């Protein structure tokens, strides 16, 4: 009987196309994906998200990799979605089942966010290998959508986390797991006030696994990854899936989808009132409080 041939990715060919991220193997069994757009505080456009997805796939399909770190260059982990981005869905290869991204009305934009935001986050959350976010500086709105799908979070003492997009007339960012991440009370506090919670506050709330000095962030994360990578792959996969299944049994996926529907009520309300997906006064409110 012929053995099943696993298709091998030509990693160098895939990586040569990337302009927003890096991929390295800093220790045995560990892949590190790095957001490499520090001049833009690692703001995400669709191209960066597609590259990230390819990198996660690459690490997941490489049988020598057991743990994946998601890190970022520069002072800040990520300022969120790049509001000045010009990339469109035309240049993106969808990996989910959503389509009709250019349809008029609510249809096209909802499909776009379902594919690029909720869809990719959920895909990464369910990768069958442990993932660790390595976080410094500010994490704002869409930045949380890269941190929260990871299994563990190591951050430096200067890290802060915020989702101020209620000022834009929507409920929060699209991957709405806030109550699962920080608890209902702190989730409402973050959303209502738009304030940034500190690393220590996030640690107390259980959102962050370890807080370390800034100069130790990279080594502490790598040490944790290498420690985990010494365990059997399948055991790790089963442990991860068991915890994720527990969250799913608590309604996590349904809650995300429910909030996503409300998020699009917000977008459509704004469109009817302001002819814009977001309330245009939002940026002024956020800047005045920064
Ligand atoms: Zn949105």
Centroid of ligand 1 to alpha carbon of 72 (angstroms): 23
Centroid of ligand 1 to alpha carbon of 215 (angstroms): 35
Centroid of ligand 1 to alpha carbon of 193 (angstroms): 19
Domains of the chain: 13-216+232-289 (3.90.226.10)
Q: Reply yes or no on whether the pLDDT at 271 is more than 90.
A: yes
Structure confidence by residue, pLDDT tens digits, 273-282: 999 999 999 9
Centroid of ligand 1 to alpha carbon of 127 (angstroms): 24
Centroid of ligand 1 to alpha carbon of 269 (angstroms): 12
Centroid of ligand 1 to alpha carbon of 112 (angstroms): 9
Centroid of ligand 1 to alpha carbon of 146 (angstroms): 15
Confidence of residue 16 (pLDDT cuts 50, 70, 90): confident
Q: Reply yes or no on whether the pLDDT at 124 is more than 50.
A: yes
Mean pLDDT across 79-87: 84
Mean pLDDT across 165-181: 98
Question: What pLDDT is recorded for position 84?
Answer: 79
| 243 or 6: which leads in pLDDT | 243
Task: Supply the pTM of this predicted model.
Answer: 0.95
Centroid of ligand 1 to alpha carbon of 224 (angstroms): 34
What percentage of the chain carries pLDDT values higher than 70? 97
Structure confidence by residue, pLDDT tens digits, 183-231: 999 999 999 999 999 999 999 999 999 999 999 999 999 999 999 999 9
The closest alpha carbon to 227, from 30, 64, 23, belongs to: 30
Q: Reply yes or no on whether the pLDDT at 87 is more than 90.
A: no
Mean pLDDT across 134-151: 98
Centroid of ligand 1 to alpha carbon of 84 (angstroms): 15
Centroid of ligand 1 to alpha carbon of 221 (angstroms): 31
Centroid of ligand 1 to alpha carbon of 140 (angstroms): 14
CA atoms of 209 and 155, how far apart (whole Å): 8
Do 43 and 7 contact (CB within 8 A), yes or no?
no
Confidence of residue 4 (pLDDT cuts 50, 70, 90): low
Centroid of ligand 1 to alpha carbon of 264 (angstroms): 7
Long-range contacts of 266-270 (CB under 8 A, 24+ apart): 266/169, 266/170, 266/171, 267/106, 267/109, 267/110, 267/170, 268/106, 269/169, 270/168, 270/169, 270/170
Neighbours of 13 (CB within 10 A): 8
Centroid of ligand 1 to alpha carbon of 190 (angstroms): 18
Centroid of ligand 1 to alpha carbon of 109 (angstroms): 8
What value does the mean pLDDT of the chain take?
95
Q: Show Cβ contacts of residue 263 under 8 Å, excluding neighbours closer than 6 positions.
A: 113, 170, 171, 172, 174, 176
Confidence of residue 8 (pLDDT cuts 50, 70, 90): low
Structure confidence by residue, pLDDT tens digits, 223-261: 999 999 999 999 999 999 999 999 999 999 999 999 999
Mean pLDDT across 141-170: 98
Mean pLDDT across 146-169: 98
What percentage of the chain carries pLDDT values higher than 90? 88
């Amino acid at each position: 009987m012929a053995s099943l041939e696993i298709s091998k990715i030509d990693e160098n060919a895939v990586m040569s196309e990337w302009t927003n991220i890096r991929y390295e193997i800093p220790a045995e069994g560990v892949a590190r994906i790095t957001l490499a757009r520090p001049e833009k505080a690692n703001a995400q456009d669709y191209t960066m998200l597609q590259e990230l997805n390819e990198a996660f796939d690459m690490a997941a399909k490489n049988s020598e990799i057991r743990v994946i770190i998601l890190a970022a260059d520069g002072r800040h982990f990520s300022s969120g979605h790049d509001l000045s981005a010009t990339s469109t869905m035309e240049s993106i290869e969808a990996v989910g089942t959503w389509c009709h991204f250019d349809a008029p009305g609510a249809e096209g934009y909802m499909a776009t966010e379902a594919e690029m935001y909720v869809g990719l986050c959920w895909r990464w959350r369910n990768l069958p290998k442990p993932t660790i976010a390595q976080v410094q500086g500010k994490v704002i709105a869409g930045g949380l959508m890269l941190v929260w799908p990871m299994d563990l979070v190591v951050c430096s003492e200067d890290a802060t986390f915020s989702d101020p997009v209620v000022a834009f007339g929507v409920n929060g960012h699209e991957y709405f797991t806030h109550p699962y991440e920080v608890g209902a009370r702190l989730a409402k506090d973050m959303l209502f006030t738009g304030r940034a919670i500190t690393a220590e506050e996030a640690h107390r709330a259980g959102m962050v696994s370890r807080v370390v000095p800034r100069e130790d962030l990279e080594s502490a994360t790598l040490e944790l990854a290498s420690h985990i990578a010494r365990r059997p792959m399948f055991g790790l996969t089963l442990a991860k899936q068991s915890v994720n299944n527990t969250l799913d049994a608590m309604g996590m996926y349904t809650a995300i989808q429910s909030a996503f529907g409300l998020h699009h009520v917000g977008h459509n309300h704004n469109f009817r009132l302001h002819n814009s997906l977001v309330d245009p006064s939002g940026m002024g409110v956020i800047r005045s409080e920064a």
